[in-house]
Amino acid sequence: MSKIGTRVLPQNLLNKVKQARPVYTVARRVRFAIGERLGARPVAGLTGRVHYNDFMLASADPQTVASYRDGANRFVDVLQRSVVEAGRTWDSLEAVLEVGCGYGRIIRELVKRLPASRISVSDVIDGGARFTAAEFGVHKLLPIELAGRQLSGRFDLIYLLSVYTHLPRELVEANLRGVAEALKPGGIAVVTIHGQASAETAERYDQYWLDKARVLQALARDGYYYERYPYYYDEYGLTWFTEAAFAKLAAEAAPQLVRIAYHPADLDAHQDVVVFRKI
């Protein structure tokens, strides 16, 4: 069973399906339903089981597994560095929240460095958050947008990996306000965004609909570009910010967050890492 991959269709056939949005929508629902029925399986080289809806792991071949694991560890290293940059110590983190946990790629490595009892997760894909909490012993919470003031002042560290890379500006603003509200005074927020370096290598996304020139022109003009995935009905796509535009957004949306560090293309030579501390 562990040799079964999470991707059913080859990319060229998947792109053809995506060009018919109603067909893709039904196919995606069916694929998720099948994944839920299959559940999870052990994969050699990883701690804990992997869910069949965890599309971050395309197959169980050793090279793919190593990339999946090592990428998660690199991000946990980024978190540890960010804590130091914010003037805190790792051991001082009593409550940590991952927003957009998916099916636990980061958590399976984070629990090796921080007690699971200190970690909470949330995701708009409820099945992902449920699986992550059950598999790794962490706490499942409602997404920030639904939890309201229930999360107010609870966390020492909140991180969002590849969340703002997919949301339009107004949703980023709303979420960042929620993050600021949920942090304790002195708490740390670590987020990643697509920045200028990402835009200049936009072909890496291998999206048939994406026009790199249009992305670069919008960044030069507005400091921001968002385009919804044409095969989704939900407001979800690819987003880019220049450093200055994101700094302006953060200052207006969450002035209590002070930027501590900005690392362009720091994560996998791809995403910019931004570190804030709540005053």
Which positions ≥6 away from 192 have C-beta within 8 Å?
160, 161, 162, 163, 164, 165, 267, 271, 272, 273, 274
Mean pLDDT across the chain? 94
Domain boundaries in the chain? 11-62, 70-278
- pLDDT confidence tier of residue 11, bands split at 50, 70 and 90: low
pLDDT at 279: 94
Percent of the chain topping pLDDT 70: 95
Angle between helices 21-38 and 11-18 (to 10 degrees): 130
Q: Which of 198, 192, 193 is nearest to 78 (CA)?
A: 192
Tell me the per-residue pLDDT of 112-125, one tens digit each, with 9 for 90 and over.
999 999 999 999 99
pLDDT at 4: 52
pLDDT at 91: 96
H or E element that contains 212 = helix 212-222
**pLDDT of residue 24 exceeding 90:** no
Would you say 252 and 162 are in contact if contact means Cβ atoms under 8 Å apart?
no
pLDDT at 7: 59
C-alpha to C-alpha distance for 110 and 76, rounded to whole angstroms: 6
So what CATH class is 70-278?
alpha beta
**pLDDT of residue 9 exceeding 70:** no
